[in-house]
């Protein structure tokens, strides 16, 4: 038989992302969580201020509150008639008077400026001499200058960080409405894989390797705000693969696997997902990370003995499925480029964008690929980029060594000094 192998056309990464965004219907369920504990969660109800911050005009310095016109001449002397520490409220100030005031204390009525204590000289008989020229409004923080009452402070769909917790607390929010945490079942696949600790390095048989994807994927999932169930390793067997996936679909929102996603005889992911639901298998136009699969696994009814077990966050009748390539760097890269945004969309995050920073290369890359490449690089002290010498998709050292990737368009060579697009690793997880 004369069968000619016709390769599938490669799918553009941005196109794949758009497709994934369409599949990632945000989890409907939200929950109220203590402001102490919402770091890295996605806000689903906007934070709107019920007050002005600061709530009133207050002093930016320790010093004296005065009427600016009373000290128009340098060396003016005023009578100190009151003392206002932070937390207390003064009385109206008459012309010719000064109030001893401290940082954060409300400005008394009638005062139009604060003179820092370093500019003043306290004299006998509760008098103060002002030694510097001053301007009206000086050293006064105005009510609402940070946040206005009724103002939108954090938009729904934002991923919260340490600073957002602080600002929400400063507005009196003791809890915030955030997306439920997606429940993710994580599997690795492959008969060759050994768990560290099961066999010591000196006794590892030929062809066996330690399972690394299971470790970094669990860590990346947790950073992406997921609750992870480590489901272990699926042997290269069709029936076992189907059983594991069907079981995991019952109580998870997403099933994430690595390896076995190609079309070889030992790759059982594809037929299993097709048997249990639907599968989109893509050959992506990127390097590393060509094979990638998205699908859905229908939830069979739970048997009565486990019906009371944990529930997925999603109320849909299917679990999402994503199959990553087995090669560790391909797995890592596709997680960052596609799974991370998918999970953000699932949590209701409004926009997900990698941060591209134009930087100069301090290396040459003359063997450009026809696919869009993500080259592992590191910033040096001169503010340019160094390339990791081995860019093979099996060499995880490149990710450990590097602090980001160069997003290199298809068939583009790089000469030393060229401007390239740098994406720091930490910008993926925003």
306-335 footprint of ligand AMP as x/- string (CB under 6 A): -------------------xxxx-------
Q: Spell out, one character per residue from 46 to 85, where the chain touches ligand AMP: x when CB under 6 A holds, - when not.
A: ----------------------------------------
Q: Considering the complex, what minimum distance in angstroms separates the CB of residue 234 from Mg ion? A: 10
Rounded to a whole number of angstroms, the minimum distance from the CB of residue 19 to ligand AMP is 22
Bridge partners for 284 per DSSP: 11
Distance of CA 159 to the CA centre of its chain: 6
Looking at residues 194 to 223 of the shown chain, list those that interact with ligand AMP (rule: CB under 6 A).
209, 211-214
d(CA 341, CA 349) in angstroms, rounded, equals: 9
Residue window 394-423: x/- pattern of binding to ligand AMP, with contact defined by CB under 6 A: ------------------------------
Ramachandran region, residue 383 (left: φ > 0; alpha: ψ -120 to 50; beta: rest): left
CB 399, min distance to ligand AMP, A: 13
**Residue tagged 């409405």 (tokens):** 177
Residue 260 in the binding site for Mg ion (CB under 5 A): yes
Q: At what angle do helices 269-276 and 238-250 cross, to 10 degrees?
A: 50
Nearer to ligand AMP, 294 or 363 (CB): 294
Q: C-alpha angle 56/58/61, rounded to 5°?
A: 165
Number of alpha carbons in the 13 Å side-chain half-sphere of residue 129: 8
CB-nearer residue toward Mg ion: 108 or 259: 259
Counting contacts by CB under 6 A, is residue 190 touching ligand AMP? yes
The DSSP H or E segment spanning 265 is none
Q: What angle do CA 292, 421, 324 make, to 5 degrees?
A: 10
CB of 260 to ligand AMP, least distance (A): 5
Of 49, 158, 179, 258, the one binding ligand AMP by CB under 6 A: 258
Residue nearer to Mg ion on the CB measure, 26 or 190: 190
CA dist 259 and 428 (Å) reads: 22
Nearest-angstrom CA–CA distance, 260 and 239? 14
Q: Which residues bind ligand AMP (CB under 6 A)?
A: 188, 190, 192-193, 209, 211-214, 258-262, 325-328
């Amino acid at each position: 038989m004369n069968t000619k192998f016709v390769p599938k056309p490669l799918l553009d990464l941005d196109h794949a992302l758009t497709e994934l965004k369409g599949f990632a219907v945000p989890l409907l369920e939200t929950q109220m969580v203590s402001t102490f504990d919402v770091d890295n969660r996605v806000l689903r109800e906007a934070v709107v201020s019920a007050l002005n911050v600061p709530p009133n005009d207050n002093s930016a310095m320790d010093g004296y509150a005065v009427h600016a016109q009373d000290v128009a001449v340098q060396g003016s002397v005023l009578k100190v008639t009151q003392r206002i520490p932070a937390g207390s409220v003064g009385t109206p100030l008459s012309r010719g008077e000064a109030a001893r005031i401290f940082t954060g204390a409300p400005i008394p009525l009638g005062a139009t400026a604060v003179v820092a204590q370093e500019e003043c000289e306290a004299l006998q008989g509760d008098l103060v001499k002002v030694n510097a020229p001053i301007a009206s409004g000086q050293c006064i923080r105005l009510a609402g200058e940070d946040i206005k009452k009724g103002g939108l402070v954090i938009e729904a769909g934002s991923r919260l960080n340490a600073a957002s917790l602080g600002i929400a607390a400063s507005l009196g929010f003791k809890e915030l409405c955030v997306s439920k945490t997606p429940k993710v079942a994580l599997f690795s696949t492959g008969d060759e894989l050994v768990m560290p600790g099961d066999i010591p390095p000196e006794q590892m048989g030929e062809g066996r390797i330690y399972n690394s994807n299971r470790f970094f994927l669990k860590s990346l999932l947790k950073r992406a705000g997921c609750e992870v169930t480590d489901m272990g390793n699926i042997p290269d067997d069709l029936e076992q693969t189907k059983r594991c996936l069907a079981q995991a679909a019952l109580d998870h929102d997403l099933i994430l696997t690595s390896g076995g996603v190609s079309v070889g005889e030992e790759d059982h992911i594809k037929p299993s997902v097709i048997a249990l639901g639907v599968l989109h298998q893509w050959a992506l136009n990127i390097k590393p990370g060509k094979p990638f699969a998205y699908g859905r696994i229908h939830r069979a009814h739970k048997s009565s003995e486990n019906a009371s077990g944990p529930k997925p966050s999603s109320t849909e009748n299917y679990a999402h499925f994503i199959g990553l390539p087995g090669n560790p760097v391909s797995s890592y890269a596709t997680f960052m480029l596609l799974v991370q945004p998918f999970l953000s969309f699932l949590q209701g995050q409004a926009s997900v964008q990698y941060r591209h920073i134009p930087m100069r290369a301090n290396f040459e890359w003359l063997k450009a690929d026809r696919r869009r490449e993500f080259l592992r690089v590191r910033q040096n002290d001169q503010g340019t980029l160094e390339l990791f010498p081995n860019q093979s998709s099996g060499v995880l050292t490149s990710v450990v060594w590097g602090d980001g990737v160069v997003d290199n368009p298809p068939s583009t060579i790089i000469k030393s000094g060229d401007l390239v697009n740098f994406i720091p690793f930490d910008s993926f997880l925003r």
